[in-house]
A and B are shown apart, each in its own frame.
Chain A
Amino acid sequence: MRSSTSNSERPNSERLTAADRPGEAQPVPERPVPDRPFGRILLAAAAIAAVLIGGWEWHWRSLGVAPDYRDDEALWAIQRRRIDQGEGDATVLIGASRTFFDVQLPVWEKIAGRRPIQLSLDGTSPLGIVEDLADDPRFTGRLLIGIAPDIFFTGFEFEDGRPRFTHQESPSQRVGKWLSMHTIEPAFAFYDGDFALFTVLRRQSWPDRPGRPRMLHVRRIQLVEADRNSYMWDRVETDAAYRDLVRRTWAQNFDPKPTDPKELAEIARTRDEQIDRMTRAIAKLRARGVFVVFVREMSAGDYLKFEKETFPREETWDALLAKTGAPGIFYADYPQLSNFDLPDWSHMSKSSAERYTAELVDLLRQKYPQAGSW
């Protein structure tokens, strides 16, 4: 290999390329290696980078962050595949973040003897997943569908496309997730979307652009385990300022109910469409013996006030049960499901979630013994 200069370079150091040789057979390219002590440079660069990365890790750990698993589409796919790999008769949990936070898999397993499959997704309507399961004859178990009114009845999907990803995931993506789960994720606390470079830069105190004030973005509020058991990060419970930040983040979406008839008609159309699609999917599931139950988890504070105003129970929950014909558990109807600590008005603290799960499993077993082994 030649050193920094060669006769294939112009005097001003611009190297000849195929662009300079029209209509010719292109020769073997020249790739000069500059005459620098690259071995020592590489070692020094690796050492400095290790120190910088260590400092970054220390910074986040000093704020109370602990490593957990990244709840990406590949982690979801691992759980979804369990249904296709011999666990089709399992209990499957779907819903938005409330079902994700509030149902604790170890508690459920302790009571029911079997760990459910957690397929809930933060900020995402479960409808797409129900439809995916309805089309999969291998699923014959029990389905618990958590309903968060502002997510389901608006058809909001923050994380759409997970079923599609699962069906199309490449071998390379599977191996990558396996490697990540066995090296990076359990070791590094900074490996979390909330601490990624751009997210951190974006959070700095930039001046607002006129007409485009900055929105608060959802911060880290949960920890996720390898099988997607998830629970609230204790900082939301213990740090009042952080808790307030999370509440303000939710409150950005607490718009008053519109009064414009056109807007109201559009809201009603969307709601009815979601219910209709759910009805069709559930009919398919029930036709092959899947037991389906809806669960409306607890909310509190301004969140509950917003939900009551904008998504009245009779127009949403009651209509859903009536149309689908599936049973449902509305937390307010059961005192044992209605008295828990929701630091951010929407999700339970870990200890509350553990108690709630125990109550919920007991209730399911009492009310629906025909569903089989929960």
Chain B
Amino acid sequence: MVFNTLTFAGFFLCVLLVHSLPLPWTFRKVNLLLASYVFYSAWNPPFVVLLWISTVVDWYAAQGLVRSERPAARHAWMLLSVVANLGMLLYFKYGNFLLANLTAAVNAAGLDYHPPKMDIVLPVGISFYTFATMSYTLDVYLRRAEPARNFLDYALFVTFFPHLVAGPIMRPTELVPQFEKPRRATARMLAFGLGLMTLGLFNKVVLADTLLSGAVERVFDAKSAPGMLDAWVGTLAFSSQIFCDFAGYSTTAIGAAMCLGFAMPDNFRFPYAAVGFSDFWRRWHITLSSWLRDYLYIPLGGNRHGAARTYAALMTTMLLGGLWHGANWTFVAWGGLHGSYLAGERVLRKRFHGYRPSPWALVGLGLLTYLLVDVTWVFFRAKDFPRAWHMLTGMAGGNSAAKPLLETPFIVITAAVVLGLLTVHWAMRRRTLESVVARTPAVVLGGAWSLMLFLIVISQGTGNAFIYFQF
């Protein structure tokens, strides 16, 4: 089920009504659990089985970890969880990709090998919920967390529909304690939660789908190479589209959880105001980047074993982080570029240790960060490397004979949205939405809210899936 659909509106209303009834807390949690399974199976019912497998395996693995004293046994329980989750992920997400690459490698070695196509359907949200359940066993293994006291709380942590299919990727310590005591939103929480949902849907439906997607598709999916203006407009449009799409999802999810009385963590912190790439990754998809840091980068050694090991861990983490996004080498390139940026920044920080940029230098460095991040988005969006090179060549002014692709309105509207977004991000660089809302007159808040509602309605979104669903 997708947030920006009538189906979700009807579903959410029903869930909210039942959750608000004066019923025992266990009954209301069962309502949330069943609703979450309905939410998931509304896309493709059979795949709910995978969700159950992931849930049950990690529940028993964590129980085994608690019972076991011997390190070898604990290690085995942890490995069971990791192998089961990564195995599912490997098969469903990377099965076709691995087979295609294996075939290419074998053929390159001179053997004529053509296996039948597997046609594996990617279960929506598998990358998100496998990471969430793995964090449960890993936290218990690392003795950072106690296992959940009962299966219902744990199953609800895995399945809770606001975060289930596209995050924020929750940790057990963030959510399981919230299920231990009865929770119901206050009237203010309900209203603010609805406000967050409106803001999230405005980002998705109006900005990402309505105002930006057309320019992105016309440039990235064109059969001809783009000129400089088109390549830059298409890339900048995508940089804003992916933010509005994904941050819109996260904001809607956070708002939905708040309407039910639960708190979910921030997933974005105005990332296009980042100065430097480590700052960017503290602001972009925070729950993924911190997951990769805690369960991959640090176990790989982090920065505790000298420069060479640090850079190797950094690059490995970013390459795998890239691959997490999709089974395509372009995503690996995207991760590799970010890894290189982070490594380069680390070198520069050591070289210019103690440097404090002036306000204008800060703006300049922020813009440089933004432009370099934009270059990485080319690999993220392009279907293959030839198209990515076409785009990069166009951005560098190398396609001088290219025919214009975009009509005037696409260029003007993209420019307006991108400039607006950058201004907002920069203005909010050291603020939170809540702190700004707290200081804004009620009349302005009401006006902005109504305008967002109106624009969502007249945009006539057709329930396009969120981009991150494919990951």
Contact = CB atoms under 8 A, between A and B. Distances in A.
Contacts of B455: 197
**Contact-residue bracket for chain B:** 35 or more
Interface residues of A, number: 75
Interface in B161-177: 171, 173-175, 177
A18 B2 CA distance: 26
A195 B457 CA distance: 11
A143 B191 CA distance: 54
A240 interface: no
Contact of A38 (B6, B41, B192): B192
B450 A22 contact: no
Interface in B402-418: 403-413
Contacts of B413: 198, 201
A15 interface: yes
Contacts of B445: 36, 41, 45
B298 A172 contact: no
A41 B434 contact: no
Interface string B284-299: 0011011101100010
B434 A179 contact: no
A284 B440 CA distance: 68
Contact of B407 (A40, A183, A212): A212
A44 B446 contact: yes
Interface stretch (B107-115, B181-189, B238-246, B367-375): B181-189
B177 A19 contact: no
Contacts of B178: 28
Interface string A179-198: 11001100000111101111
A172 B254 contact: no
A40 B450 CA distance: 13
B264 A29 contact: yes
B357 interface: no
Contacts of B458: 53, 56, 190, 195-197
B294 A35 contact: no
Interface stretch (A6-14, A102-110, A130-138, A152-160): A6-14
B139 interface: yes
Given A49-B457, A175-B42, A198-B210, A17 B10 contact: no
B434 A34 contact: yes
A172 B7 CA distance: 6
A35 B437 CA distance: 9
A171 B188 contact: no
Contacts of A190: 458
A43 to B, nearest CB: 9
Contacts of B405: 212
A172 B47 CA distance: 14
A297 B413 CA distance: 41
6 contacts: A19-B281, A26-B290, A38-B187, A45-B450, A45-B453, A214-B409
The 4 A-B pairs with the shortest beta carbon distances in the complex, nearest first, are: A38-B191, A48-B450, A45-B449, A18-B290
Interface of B: 1-2, 5-8, 10, 41-45, 139, 144-145, 171, 173-175, 177-178, 186-189, 191-192, 194-195, 206, 210-211, 214, 254, 258, 263-266, 269, 281-283, 286-287, 289-291, 293-294, 298, 403-413, 430-432, 434-435, 437-438, 440, 442, 445-447, 449-451, 453-455, 457-460, 462-463
